[in-house]
Amino acid sequence: QVQLVESGGVLVRPGGSLRLSCVVSEFTLSDYYMSWIRQAPGKGLEWVSSISDSGNTKSYADSVRGRFAVSKDDAQKSLFLQMTSLGADDTAVYYCARGRFCSGTSCYFDYWGQGTLVTVSS
């Protein structure tokens, strides 16, 4: 069945960098819009970044624009999130999620990974 498995979350010092990965199975990345969504401890969901099925359109939340970069490798069935200049506010569980019908006025996420925890602390 469809699966998304994130990895790469670790303890990192403020100002550091980190690369998260999300490996998918049972579907083709080039057919779907994909997103990263995070959740700080005890807080709500916060959208981080998205990449279109073609990879040509990338979007970012204001809180991470200029520091984070989303990419993917369709052949490797992998989605990535490169994070730089990390701060305490970036501490969260990071989920990758598969988007559906992400155009016009509709976009929703039908499958989510289990999440990977990023902790930014000295």
Partner 1 sequence: SYGLTQPPSVSVSPGQTVSVTCSGDQLGRKNVCWYQQKPGQSPVLVIYQDRKRPSGIPGRFSGSNSGNTATLTISGTQALDEADYYCQAWDNNVVLFGGGTKLTVL
Q: Choose the stretch contacting partner 1; rule: CB under 8 A; options: 13-21, 55-63, 66-74, 82-90.
A: 55-63
For 20, residues 6+ apart whose C-beta sits below 8 A from its C-beta are: 6, 7, 8, 9, 36, 80, 81, 83, 94, 96, 116, 118
Residues 6+ apart with CB under 8 A from 27: 2, 98
**Tokens coding 122:** 């000295």
Q: Which one among 9, 112, 117, 119 touches partner 1, defined by CB under 8 A?
A: 112
Would you count residue 47 as binding partner 1 (CB under 8 A)?
yes
Query: Where does residue 24 rank: exposed (0-12), middle (13-18), buried (19+ CB within 10 A)?
Result: buried
3 or 76: CB nearest partner 1 = 3
Stretch 57-86: interaction string toward partner 1, x if CB under 8 A: x-x-xx------------------------
Q: Which of 10, 11, 88, 107 is close enough to bind partner 1 by CB under 8 A?
A: 107
Nearest approach, Cβ of residue 89 and partner 1 (Å): 16
End-to-end CA distance of the chain: 40
25-44 residues in contact with partner 1 (CB under 8 A) are 35, 37, 44
